[in-house]
Structure 1
C-alpha cells in the first residue's frame, strides 16, 4: 500500500492506493485561511498537522488493515508558502501563503535584479517565497533575526513526519531561490534576501526517498517501521503525476482554488517576460511551464457566498447548453493576478450590468471570466514556445460540464475529461511514494487515465466568445487606470 498526503489551502487529503494503483480509500481534514489585512493570507502550521491527523484518522477508521501495509508515502502541498523556523525548529510566525500579496514592493525590487530572471527562469512574483522573506526582514526584524530555516508548507509536514529538513525540485522552483536549469539552490539569489544555503532544506528529486516515517507517527497510524517518505511534489506537479502529464506535449487545465494551465517539457524553456512559470517537474530531468490565475473556483465560491447558494446549484441553473455571452463581463482578480499581468494590486470587477442581469447571468459571467483568464494563459504559453492542441481537465471545478464547455470554447481546443477516478495531487504523490519505495520506473507508473468524454469547442459560439474575450481583455487597462 502507498499513501499520498496533499496539503491544500482548504484542507488535507489522505489517499491510499494499492500496488496496482487502485484507490483503496481516502480521508480529509479541514483548514481555514486567516486574512488579517487586505492582501494577507496566512495559516498556522500546527493546523496542518491537526488536519493531517484528522485525514489519516478518517482513513484508518475504514481501512486500518490496509493502512498498516503502507510501504511508501508521498507528500504534496500548496506552493510558495514561507514557514519560518528558529534554531530549535519552532515556528516563528504564521505561514505566509501563496496567495498573499503583501510583499509586492519587495518582489518588484528583487525582480529588478536581472540575476533572478536569469537564474530562476521566472518573474519574482509577490506570491513566491523569497520576497516574503524580504518583507519579514523589512517589517518584522525581530522575527528575521531569529530565523534559522525556511520550509515550504509540505516540507514542514515532511519535517513533522520524518524529522528531516528536505525539499524537492518542483516546489523549490517556486521560491525564486532555485537555479531551475541546474536544479540547485543559487547562492547569489539567496544572498539577495540575506540568506545562504544553511537556511535551506536539502534537495532531492520527487521520486527519491527523503526520509523515514518517525516511529511515533508510524505507531499512531498503525504502520510498520521503515516506511519511506518520497520527495513528493508541489501541488501542480503532483497533479501532473496523477494525470500522467509528464511527457512532451501533455497538458492539463486545473480548476482548483487557483487555476493552472500546465504543460510538461523535456527541456528547460524559460521565458519570464511572458509571466509563464517555468519550474522543475517532480520527475528527474523534466521541467514544466504553466500559466497561473489566482482565483478559479475561488471566484465561483466567493460569488456563491454572496448569493447564498452552493456553487453546484449555480452552475446547474445554467442548464446543459452553453449560452451566448450576455454582455456582462467578470474580471476574476479577487487576489490580484499572475499570468500574464503580474499585478498584485488589481482587483476584480463586474462590468456591463443592467436590469436584466439576474443571478444566472452573473454566474455565467463568473465562469466565462475564469475561462478568459485561462485564454490569457494560453496566449502566454504560446509566447513562451508551448502551443497546446488539447488539455485534460482536473480539479473540483471540472465537475461542471458547463464550465468545461465554456473553457473549451474560450480556448478553442478540446478538453478531455478522464474516466471516473481521483487523479489529483494526492493520487500523484501516492504514485511517487510507490516509486520511491519500490525503485519503479516513473514513466511506467505515471501514465494517463483513460478519457471518458471529450468536450469540443462550440463552433456556433466561437465568434461570440472571441468578442466577449476582447471586451474582457480591454477592460484590464481601463480598470487599472481607475484603481491606480
Structure 2
C-alpha cells in the first residue's frame, strides 16, 4: 500500500492505493484561510500539521475497517499548494504565518525582480506575486526583524515533510515555482538567491519527485502502527495531479476545468515563453518538464453567471444553454473576473458582457460564458504552442468535464480532440501516492504505476464550428480585451 498526502488551500487530502493502483481509502480535513489585509492570504503551518495528522488517522481507521493494516503501507508521497513561503528559525520554529500562492501584496517586488540581469533566462518565468521569491523580498522590506531570523524557507508540503521525517527537502517541480530555480538545469540558482538576500543553505535539498527524501520518524511510526517507511519527494499540486491522471510523457497534456483553468503539457526538454505568462516548470519525474497556461477564472465564471441570472444551479444553466440555438450576433463574455495570467499577466483585467440587445435572454449569457472561458483557454493553449510544444493528446479533468455540451464546445473552439477518462476528477493525492510507489519500488515500471485511466468518451471537433470560432468569434474576443484593458487598468490605479 502507498499513502499520498495533498496539502491544498482549503483541505488536506489523503489517499491509499494498493500495488495495482486501486484507491483503497481516502480522508480529508478542512483548513482555514486568513486574509488580514486586502490582497493578503495566509495560513498557519501548525494547522497544516494538525490537519495532516487528522487526515492520516482517519484514513488508517477507514483502511482498518477494510482489513488493511498500517504495516502494509510501504511508502508516503507528498503534494501541495505551490509557492507558499514558510519561514523557520534555527530551531525550526515558524516565524510568521505562511504567505500563500494567492497572496498579491508583492507586486512592487516583482517589478524589481524583472530588472535583475538574466532573470527570465534563468527562471524561465515572469515575476508574479504568486511566486515565492517576491514574498521574501517583501519580508526583507516590510518585516526585516523576521527576515533576519530566517534559517530555512520551505514550501507548504515540505513543512509536512519536516514534521514527518525531520528532513529539509523538496522536489524540482515545486521548487520551479519559487523563482530561485534554474529550471533548465534543475538546480538552485546562486544568483537568484543572492539577489533575494538568502544563502543557499536556507534552501531545502533538491530531489526528483520519485526520490526518497527520508523516512517516517520512529515516534510517528510507533504511534500509527507503521514501519519507518520512505517518504518520496513528491510534487507540486499540478505536477502531482498530472502524475495521478497519467500525464507523464512528451506531448501528453491535460486541460483542467476547475475554479481556475489550467492547460498542462509535458515536454522531454526545457522550453519557455515568459513574455506570454506561460509557466515553465520541471515535472515531478526525471528528465521531464512541463509548460502550463493558467486562467484564473474558468468554471467559477459559470457559477458567477448562474448566480447573476437566477439559475437554480449550474446544471440548470447548462441545460438551458444546450436548448438554445447559438446566434451569429450572440453576446461576448470576457472571463477575467479575477484578472488574468496567461497570456496577458494583467491583474487589472475584468470580466464583461458585451453585445447585449433587446432580444438577449439569459441562455444567451450562459452560452457566452461557456464560449468566453473556452476562448480564454484557447489563448493559453496557443501561447504554449508558440513555445514549441503542441500536444494532440489532451485529457480533460475537473468539475467542468462532467458537461458533455461544454466539453464538445471546447473541442470545437480548440480544434483538437478532447479525451475524457474514468476518474477525471482525481486529485493530486493520487499522484503523490504513485510517486511514493516509484520511490519505494525503484524497479517498478513507469507505464504500470502511472497508467492512464480508461477512456470514457472522446469529443471530436466539428470542422465547421471550429472555423466559425476561429474566423468570427476569436478575433472579436481578442479585440474586446484590448479595447477594454486600458479602461480597467486606469480604474485599477486611481
Asked whether the two chains share a fold, i.e. TM above 0.5, the reply is yes
Structure 1 residues 360 and 168, CA gap change in structure 2 (3 angstroms): same
Q: Distance in 2 between matches of 1:34 and 1:300?
A: 26
Matches within 5 A, 1:200-219: 200-219=203-222
Structure 1 residues 90 and 449, CA gap change in structure 2 (3 angstroms): same
Instruction: State the partner residue of 1:381.
Output: 384
CA contact (8 A) 2:330 2:364 kept: no
Deviation at 1:426, TM superposition (A): 1.5
1:282 is aligned to 2:287: no
Secondary structure, in 3 states, of the residue corresponding to 1:52?
helix
CA contact (8 A) 2:244 2:434 kept: yes
* Per-residue Cα deviation, 1:77-108 (whole angstroms, up to 9, x for no partner): 11111122223222223322222222122112
Q: Distance in 2 between matches of 1:360 and 1:49?
A: 46
Instruction: State the partner residue of 2:374.
Output: 371
Instruction: State the partner residue of 2:4.
Output: 4
Deviation at 1:119, TM superposition (A): 1.1
Deviation at 1:167, TM superposition (A): 0.6
Q: Distance in 1 between matches of 2:404 and 2:245?
A: 19
Secondary structure, in 3 states, of the residue corresponding to 1:345?
coil
Q: Distance in 2 between matches of 1:322 and 1:110?
A: 49
Instruction: State the partner residue of 2:487.
Output: 482
Gaps of 5+ in 2: none
CA contact (8 A) 2:252 2:392 kept: no
Deviates more, 1:278-287 or 1:255-264: 255-264
CA contact (8 A) 2:297 2:335 kept: yes
Instruction: State the partner residue of 2:336.
Output: 333
1:468 is aligned to 2:473: yes
Among candidates 120, 127, 152, match of residue 124 of structure 1? 127
Gaps of 5+ in 1: none
Matches within 5 A, 1:80-479: 80-220=83-223, 222-303=224-305, 309-319=312-322, 323=326, 327-354=330-357, 357-420=360-423, 423-439=426-442, 440-466=444-470, 467-479=472-484
Deviation at 1:230, TM superposition (A): 0.5
Q: Is the radius of gyration larger for structure 1 or structure 2?
A: 2
Secondary structure, in 3 states, of the residue corresponding to 2:56?
helix
Deviates more, 1:463-472 or 1:246-255: 463-472
* Per-residue Cα deviation, 1:157-181 (whole angstroms, up to 9, x for no partner): 2222222211100010111100112
CA contact (8 A) 1:283 1:442 kept: no
Secondary structure, in 3 states, of the residue corresponding to 1:173?
helix
RMSD: 2.4
Secondary structure, in 3 states, of the residue corresponding to 1:124?
coil
Deviation at 1:473, TM superposition (A): 1.3
Q: Distance in 1 between matches of 2:364 and 2:324?
A: 14
Deviates more, 1:419-428 or 1:16-25: 419-428
Q: Distance in 1 between matches of 2:343 and 2:124?
A: 15
Alignment size in residue pairs:
483
CA contact (8 A) 1:238 1:425 kept: yes
Q: Distance in 1 between matches of 2:173 and 2:328?
A: 38
CA contact (8 A) 2:74 2:229 kept: yes
Structure 1 residues 318 and 47, CA gap change in structure 2 (3 angstroms): farther
Deviates more, 1:165-174 or 1:271-280: 271-280
Secondary structure, in 3 states, of the residue corresponding to 2:350?
coil
* Per-residue Cα deviation, 1:233-280 (whole angstroms, up to 9, x for no partner): 111111221122111121111123322111111111223223211111
Q: Distance in 2 between matches of 1:78 and 1:155?
A: 11
Q: Distance in 1 between matches of 2:360 and 2:99?
A: 38
Deviation at 1:401, TM superposition (A): 2.4
Structure 1 residues 167 and 455, CA gap change in structure 2 (3 angstroms): same
CA contact (8 A) 1:39 1:335 kept: no
Matches within 5 A, 1:46-57: 46-57=46-57
Deviation at 1:110, TM superposition (A): 0.4
Q: Distance in 2 between matches of 1:172 and 1:3?
A: 22
The normalised TM-score by structure 2 is 0.90
Secondary structure, in 3 states, of the residue corresponding to 2:178?
coil
Secondary structure, in 3 states, of the residue corresponding to 1:192?
helix
Structure 1 residues 32 and 104, CA gap change in structure 2 (3 angstroms): same
Deviation at 1:421, TM superposition (A): 6.3
